[in-house]
A and B are shown apart, each in its own frame.
Chain A
């Protein structure tokens, strides 16, 4: 009996391992597994390494890019065209910094153990530079003219705080894709009840009227007037994502991590130095006290925010425009047929400011290591990326293989409708716009995926909301601003853990102030103390570095 049981268990385990290793062979977007093998991919005439080149890489893989479908054409095609074979150790972003630590420790005193390319991720470029693991690319720019041209005048997003360039960027030439969204059906309901006199909130006072109306009424009709959250906020890494939209409403054009901004006179500084920061903090503290701001703003993860949207509890939030469509349709499926998350222009603050962060177009991504130097691979790797940013490379990255995934119509690539029928899902599953690897994502490919062969009028209300939220001509038109970078200066690297994100750091202090644990006056008194302990150096070095980068 025991032997039989052991045998059954062993077989079950073996099967589970086998199934885990197996890749899906089901057709995706009309493309069978291994479809690209039938294509006659010729070596590129502009770049090809005779004899081949093996490039090792440590990279971060995202969930929205499935890796179980063996119909991914990209890397086999790259190899066929250029002779470059990529051997990539993909890791998830959770705990990625620890993986980099391990890789560096493993290569201690022997840099040849480093992969040729490392994506810095949460480890940070400055930390890799500090370790001596990666090389500056300044002296090699003549090898990558296509990349330089693609970056153009967006140098401040490419260069590091010390003015050097350390990474091949990934470039996303697509519209901003995040937006403020709100429950239009709830606003209409409040209007019917005589609580508000508008359909769509726009000004600060209108937004407040909408939020207070939601707070005081049972909008979702479940008999509990207290379970709706007027403004759901997502925390991000250290509160940055939840605060953008409110900082912007007060005219503070913050960086991605909500720590830095550029003042009207062009000075790069920390947001806490902004003349409106006190007004922002005072107003937000009051909103929290009044039950308008999400009580979990300091802990709510992105998935939790989506849960509130799907649970019919979120009245407004700032998120990916696509989430308006996804969660509207989710509510429809639940029977809330009049639900509509409508993308809307950013909240206009009490001083009339209305801004929205532009999507970060240029992001430094792939760093070349001392390992590549030791193996003599640097020049060929850079030439490869120059090819990837050429028309041939861009087409392969965005549209796949001509005749199979796209056709040329009037000289422009047009994707097959079978690939577009599931929007971005099949497109990415096949391996197009392989963002974890990086490249240049084109507006045209993005738009073709978005519309999936339809016109705006043919889209349903949920999709139209999505469209309105991300289209440069839509609700956010004229509101975008270019995000200032977070410059990892020496002082920033030295003090970030302690004075910015530490237990007594300014992020913690900010959130405690919003939650009413610390008064606004105390915030500024303690902020001054943090400045004397090192934040002043962070500000000064950041300002100098920014002036240097912008000047260049």
Chain B
């Protein structure tokens, strides 16, 4: 509440001050002096305008039997037909359940793992070893999804894979991890942790390095051991960062790592691997039902927005940390 008031007051003050020609000139000068910094913002603004805001114009395709070649003028307006069809479909709820199941598992395992890793890494005193571990851990981030899926296939293939060889060496029958729906989430979570752990830990390592060192000194004087310092200084120090990331993660609850899920899908695991984003993609790109596909995407976005608002509200009440 305090922060919002300050922001509000600052805004009012700035508006008043901007009326002064001298101040305006000074601001212009400052912008000119830092023009290269401001220029760096331009690509991001262009990107956001082109790929995030302009496509919103086409959201109205969800109310049309949209034909690409005919545009809105030549396509038939169908009202809420696609939304009705979507919401009355048994499959929709199955896809939402699949998406939520994977994301909840991911939230419980993949999301906190980088924090734990960062905390552990922070305790390593051998700097070269620490840097080595950090470098090795975030390298998988740079592997493309297609390559990652190939690696997963090579490891998990029950006929030619590494795991199959190990199983056979132990006299056991190899498990078909990729075609058995029971293992689909497990394969995703394990590979997800492997690929994102190091990279996602960077932000926590940065947050930890920003903690005032006098707090650790004070804790040591008070008799705190290493574990207690972590518990009472480090974790509270990174908690605001963790919560902000958590809120944003909750906004992604109906999304997924599309490429990976899509590439790992097969007819034997589709009952658990078909997610809302892959379904929407197939509706549009495979079945050419552009209106229905847009309706699915819009539904996804609206629910995601609601989830973010709820998570933000809860966080604001509980921890006084929020996105807005």
- Residue positions of A touching B, CB distance < 8 A: 97-98, 101, 104-105, 107-109, 111, 114, 123-124, 127, 130-133, 224, 226-227, 229, 235, 238-239, 294-296, 298-299, 304, 307-308, 311, 313, 370, 493, 496-498, 501-504, 507-508, 510-512, 515, 517
Please tell me if the beta carbons of B91 and A503 are within 8 angstroms of each other in the complex. yes
Please pick, from B268, B273, B284, the residue contacting A512 in the complex, using a CB distance under 8 A.
B268
Across the two chains, which residue of chain A brings its CB closest to B274? A503
Please tell me if the beta carbons of B159 and A299 are within 8 angstroms of each other in the complex. no
Whole-angstrom distance between the Cβ of B263 and the nearest chain A Cβ: 11
Please tell me if the beta carbons of A299 and B179 are within 8 angstroms of each other in the complex. yes
* Chain B residues within 8 Å of A498, by CB: 91, 287
Please tell me if the beta carbons of A239 and B160 are within 8 angstroms of each other in the complex. no
- B158 at the A interface (CB under 8 A): yes
Whole-angstrom distance between the Cβ of A161 and the nearest chain B Cβ: 16
Please pick, from A105, A307, A308, A370, the residue contacting B68 in the complex, using a CB distance under 8 A.
A105
* Bound Cα distance from A298 to B153, whole angstroms: 13
Please tell me if the beta carbons of A130 and B158 are within 8 angstroms of each other in the complex. no
* Bound Cα distance from A227 to B173, whole angstroms: 10
- B260 at the A interface (CB under 8 A): no
Please tell me if the beta carbons of A299 and B69 are within 8 angstroms of each other in the complex. no
* Chain B residues within 8 Å of A131, by CB: 67-70, 288
- B225 at the A interface (CB under 8 A): no
* Chain B residues within 8 Å of A504, by CB: 91, 94, 270-271
* Chain B residues within 8 Å of A370, by CB: 69
Whole-angstrom distance between the Cβ of B294 and the nearest chain A Cβ: 13
Please tell me if the beta carbons of A298 and B69 are within 8 angstroms of each other in the complex. no
Classify chain B: how many residues form its interface, as a range: 35 or more
Can you identify 28 A-B contacts, CB atoms within 8 angstroms?
A: A97-B285, A105-B68, A108-B69, A114-B69, A130-B288, A131-B67, A133-B69, A226-B173, A229-B159, A294-B159, A295-B159, A296-B157, A296-B158, A298-B267, A299-B266, A304-B160, A308-B159, A493-B287, A497-B282, A502-B274, A502-B282, A503-B95, A503-B279, A508-B268, A511-B268, A512-B268, A512-B271, A515-B268
* Bound Cα distance from A109 to B66, whole angstroms: 12
* Chain B residues within 8 Å of A133, by CB: 69
Whole-angstrom distance between the Cβ of B296 and the nearest chain A Cβ: 12
Please tell me if the beta carbons of B68 and A101 are within 8 angstroms of each other in the complex. yes
Please pick, from A98, A114, A298, A496, the residue contacting B268 in the complex, using a CB distance under 8 A.
A298
Please tell me if the beta carbons of B158 and A97 are within 8 angstroms of each other in the complex. no
- B6 at the A interface (CB under 8 A): no
* Chain B residues within 8 Å of A105, by CB: 68
Given A101-B285, A296-B179, A497-B283, CB of A503 within 8 Å of CB of B266? no
Please pick, from B71, B176, B289, the residue contacting A108 in the complex, using a CB distance under 8 A.
B71
Cβ proximity bits B57-83 to A, threshold 8 Å, 1 near / 0 not: 000000000011111011000000000
Across the two chains, which residue of chain B brings its CB closest to A126? B288
* Bound Cα distance from A132 to B286, whole angstroms: 17
Please tell me if the beta carbons of B160 and A308 are within 8 angstroms of each other in the complex. yes
Whole-angstrom distance between the Cβ of B282 and the nearest chain A Cβ: 6
Please tell me if the beta carbons of A503 and B270 are within 8 angstroms of each other in the complex. yes
- Interface centre among B68, B153, B178, B266, by most chain A C-beta atoms within 10 angstroms, is B68
* Bound Cα distance from A399 to B153, whole angstroms: 43
* Chain B residues within 8 Å of A294, by CB: 159
* Chain A residues within 8 Å of B67, by CB: 130-132
* Chain A residues within 8 Å of B160, by CB: 304, 307-308, 311, 313
Whole-angstrom distance between the Cβ of B170 and the nearest chain A Cβ: 12
* Bound Cα distance from A299 to B164, whole angstroms: 16
Cβ proximity bits B256-297 to A, threshold 8 Å, 1 near / 0 not: 000000000011101101100001001111111100000000
Please tell me if the beta carbons of A512 and B68 are within 8 angstroms of each other in the complex. no
Top 3 nearest A-B pairs (CB, nearest first) are A503-B274, A497-B287, A503-B270
* Bound Cα distance from A370 to B74, whole angstroms: 15
- B168 at the A interface (CB under 8 A): yes
* Chain A residues within 8 Å of B270, by CB: 502-504, 508
Please tell me if the beta carbons of A295 and B158 are within 8 angstroms of each other in the complex. yes
Whole-angstrom distance between the Cβ of A140 and the nearest chain B Cβ: 21
Please tell me if the beta carbons of B268 and A517 are within 8 angstroms of each other in the complex. yes
* Chain A residues within 8 Å of B274, by CB: 502-503
Please tell me if the beta carbons of B68 and A108 are within 8 angstroms of each other in the complex. yes
* Chain B residues within 8 Å of A299, by CB: 153, 178-179, 266, 268
* Bound Cα distance from A313 to B160, whole angstroms: 9
Across the two chains, which residue of chain B brings its CB closest to A124? B288
Whole-angstrom distance between the Cβ of A399 and the nearest chain B Cβ: 40
* Chain A residues within 8 Å of B69, by CB: 104, 107-108, 111, 114, 131-133, 370
* Bound Cα distance from A296 to B267, whole angstroms: 11
Whole-angstrom distance between the Cβ of A311 and the nearest chain B Cβ: 7
Please tell me if the beta carbons of A298 and B179 are within 8 angstroms of each other in the complex. yes
* Bound Cα distance from A295 to B178, whole angstroms: 10
Name 6 extra pairs, CB < 8 A, besides A294-B159, A298-B267: A101-B68, A104-B68, A133-B69, A296-B157, A296-B159, A503-B270
Cβ proximity bits B144-178 to A, threshold 8 Å, 1 near / 0 not: 00000000010001111000100010000110101
Please tell me if the beta carbons of B71 and A109 are within 8 angstroms of each other in the complex. yes
Whole-angstrom distance between the Cβ of B179 and the nearest chain A Cβ: 6
* Chain B residues within 8 Å of A235, by CB: 266
- Interface centre among B164, B173, B268, by most chain A C-beta atoms within 10 angstroms, is B268
